[in-house]
Structure 1
Amino acid sequence: MVCNSCLKSVIVQTGQIGTILTRKRVHLQSTVRTLYAGGAGLTFLWNREFRTSAKMMVDSGAAASQGPVVHKFPEKDDAGYVSGGWKSEDGRLSCGYSSFRGKRATMEDCYDIKTSKINGQTVCLFGIFDGHGGSRAAEYLKQHLFEKLMKHPQFMTDTKLAISETYQQTDADFLDSERDTYRDDGSTASTAVLVGNHLYVANVGDSRTIISKAGKAIPLSEDHKPNRSDERKRIESAGGVVMWAGTWRVGGVLAMSRAFGNRMLKQFVVAEPEIQVILNSIC
């Protein structure tokens, strides 16, 4: 997702199929090896061949302790520009990231990459969390969202339901953890969860998810903007108002209609994700 606070990219490369999570226009060249995002912001690119015997992954901040072995490349920090990456032992998967803070005073965005084996099957989770009003919501999602999801009792049997319920429960838990503060941080979330040959792409907010196939970009999500007809109807039915204030905003304040956090607008700004399921057969 691209915003004004930082530029962060995570790239996982194996084949000609990829999933890109971003918030601004992304220009794809003939292959998905090169990613351009205009301006400062945050971008996530996930790319691999869809195979049921996927050999993955990485964990945020360290080589994965569960699942296939990966080699971690040394992280470099050059005057605030941070980059690093991993590569699987069999060479079929590589993952890299880079980030720098943009014009804002502090970094408000986070990402998370995790892998685990559940019932003998490798599962892989990728996410980007674009904070606004502060970094606390994005940091909370990095720390808790995937951990809660993997512990959901129906994660392996009904992954789509598990993602939807976990998103909304994590939102409630974050708001509860912030009940004694005067802050009102919020965050979008774009996640891609691979279970077997099923890829579940979930979005809350104005992040964008695109699947790249042989260099062709195919959208998998639609921005949650207040002026989207169904979103506007939902907000107004709940007693809210959509106003123009430089752009369309909920209550004249927030330029997205779904988000984690944002306690003061929670009645109208929900954390229910829209989820797309991509199967091996169509990729």
Structure 2
Amino acid sequence: MACLSFKWRLQYTINKNGRSKVDKLSFFGNGDAEKSSWQMKIGHIAAYAIQGRRPKMEDRFVINDNINNTGVGLFAVFDGHGGEFAANYAKEKLVQSLYDKVVEIKDLISGKKPIKKDDSIVKEEEKPKTPTSVERRKSFKKTNSITDECMRTGTKEITDPELLNKLSNIQRPITREVKPNTSILKKTETTDYFDKCGIVDYGKLITDEVLAADHSLLEAAKKNFDIAGTTALIAILEGSKLIVGNVGDSRGVMCDSRGNAIPLSFDHKPQQMRERKRIKEAGGFVTFNGVWRVAGILATSRALGDYPLKDKKFVIADPDILTFELNDHKPLFVILASDGLWDTFSNDEAVNFIKERLHEPDFGAKSLTLQSYYRGSLDNITVVIINFKDKAFSFSTSEKNA
């Protein structure tokens, strides 16, 4: 009986009425769409969002085309459920943490921040033994192979030999004779976000920050008895690289130079074989009552927050990461949107719709959002458009200011 009562509370909270804490920026001027709307435009990026037919606005979005003049852009959509707490937390805490890390990384590359070897990773008495001549030869051979691979990829991210050497020294693996003591490991160091070629691993950065934010969000939510959750769709753009991290069922799609719709993310739904298997192995179940749901409650199988389901590991926050080389696709634009849009538009339909409206002041973001509403979407709807047409962004591997 208690279980049924708690399940009812979850379902009630997801659908209860309440006043949104988001400042209202504008209102619809027609009778068909009576709810409030939010809009923003920065350079070649525009966002438009509506409360739609929901009693509250639980979507959040972020557009920043140049984080602290680092040449790195960050764009995100958070689709909250069960209240605004989780989506607000992600927008404020998670995004700020990502900003801080990007600045740290760029300061490291530019030399503003000195690179120091973190001796605290291994205790003094557990330092590696001096390698034998055989081990040195193996290490030298491995180093050469890594260098050759980096040269083949033609990376231009970090070229300074001294800096690369320091990074290599920091990241050198511990020898077999020594095992790291997990009790003394620190949080991820900034230098850990460089791969063996000196390229910034933004996928790892997104993953680490999302999981860290989820952990702190759960602690805060439990203290406040707040069962809210949120999806997270995060895109980082630097030069010709676009890195997309996804948790949940918000979705990104890119229109390439030929007009094709290229998925930037894939929804996490409980009916998917991989997700259903994971949920069942955790002791959970998936039900269908018009919509597939985790434990009969949540329509997405991954999210930040949702501590009642997260504690049982029915729902997880692990993001999927996809990386795109824009020189290969030469995109016209990118769409990032909450599932309120995707309930009424397929990827192809959304791409074809925006292709005809890039000339509009907001690159079609408002038109697409309203069209989704008119098609009958019952959810909050948020659309972010990144316009690449007419070389709005330069596809180069060097740093740039958007």
TM-score, normalising length: structure 2: 0.47
Q: Which residue of 2 aligns with 1:236?
A: 280
> How many Å separate the matches in 2 of 1:166 and 1:211?
24
Q: 1:271 aligns with which of 311, 317, 329?
A: 317
CA contact 1:85–1:96 (8 Å) conserved in 2: yes
**Map of 1:260 onto structure 2:** 304
Pick aligned residue for 1:112 from 36, 53, 62: 62
Counterpart of 1:160 (choices 193, 197, 203) is: 203
Matched, 1:280 2:326: yes
CA, structure 1 residues 84+209, in 2 after alignment: closer, same or farther (shift >3 Å)? closer
Where 1:148 maps in the other structure, the secondary structure is: helix
In 1, are the aligned partners of 2:287 and 2:293 still within 8 Å (CA)?
Answer: yes
For 1:181 and 1:258, the matched residues in 2 are separated by 22
- What do the CA deviations read for 1:112-163 (whole angstroms, capped 9, x no partner)? 1124457x74100000000111111111111122221233425562211111
Partner of 2:97: 148
Which has the greater radius of gyration? Answer: 2
Q: 1:86 aligned to 2:29?
A: no
The range that moved more, 252-261 or 195-204, is 195-204
Alignment partner of 1:224 is 2:268: yes
1:98 aligned partner: 48
Give yes or no for contact 2:45–2:63 (8 Å, CA) kept in 1: no
Query: Is residue 169 of structure 1 aligned with residue 169 of structure 2?
Result: no
Q: Could you say which residue in structure 1 is the equivalent of 2:104?
A: none
Does structure 2 retain, via aligned residues, the 8 Å contact 1:209–1:221? Answer: yes
Superposed CA deviations along residues 137-190 of structure 1, whole A, max 9, x for unmatched, are 111111122221233425562211111111111111111112222220011111
Against the structure 1 CA distance between its residues 280 and 83, is the aligned structure 2 distance closer, same or farther, given a 3 Å change threshold? closer
Aligned 1:11-160 pairs, distance under 5 A: 77-78=27-28, 80-87=36-43, 94-116=44-66, 121-152=70-101, 153=190, 154=192, 157-160=200-203
Structure 1 SS opposite 2:222? coil
Regions of 4+ moved over 6 Å: none
CA distance in structure 1 between the partners assigned to 2:287 and 2:231 by the alignment: 20
Secondary structure of 1:199's counterpart equals: strand
Give the superposition deviation at 1:100.
2.2
Give me the whole-angstrom Cα distance separating, in 1, the residues matched to 2:278 and 2:92. 30
Which piece of structure 1 moves more, 243-252 or 144-153?
A: 144-153
Aligned-partner Cα distance in 2 for 1:155–1:136: 30
Distance 1:109 1:117, change over 3 A: closer
Whole-angstrom distance in 2 between the partners of 1:221 and 1:206: 9
* Paired amino acid for 1:136: F
Give the secondary structure class of the aligned counterpart of 1:275.
strand
Q: Please identify which structure carries the higher strand content.
A: 1
Tell me the distance in 1 between the aligned counterparts of 2:193 and 2:242: 13
Separation of aligned partners in 2, 1:246 and 1:78: 31
Consecutive unaligned residues of structure 1, counting only runs of 5 or more, are: 6-60, 62-74, 88-93
| Greater shift in the superposed pair: 77-86 or 126-135 | 77-86
Equivalent position amino acid for 1:271 in 2:
A
1:4-36 C-alpha deviation (Å, 9 max, x unpaired): 99xxxxxxxxxxxxxxxxxxxxxxxxxxxxxxx
Q: Distance in 2 between matches of 1:269 and 1:244?
A: 17
* SS of equivalent to 2:245: strand
- 1:169 counterpart SS class: helix
- Indicate the RMSD between aligned Cα atoms, in angstroms: 2.4
Structure in which a larger fraction of residues adopt helix: 2
Structure with higher RCO (Cα < 8 A, 6+ apart): 2
Give the counterpart letter for 1:96 in structure 2. Answer: A
Q: Which moved more, 1:94-103 or 1:245-254?
A: 94-103
The runs of 5 or more residues in structure 2 that have no matched partner are 1-13, 16-22, 30-35, 102-189, 195-199, 330-402
**Contact 1:132–1:186 at 8 Å: present in 2 too?**
yes
Give, in angstroms, the shift of residue 269 of structure 1: 0.7
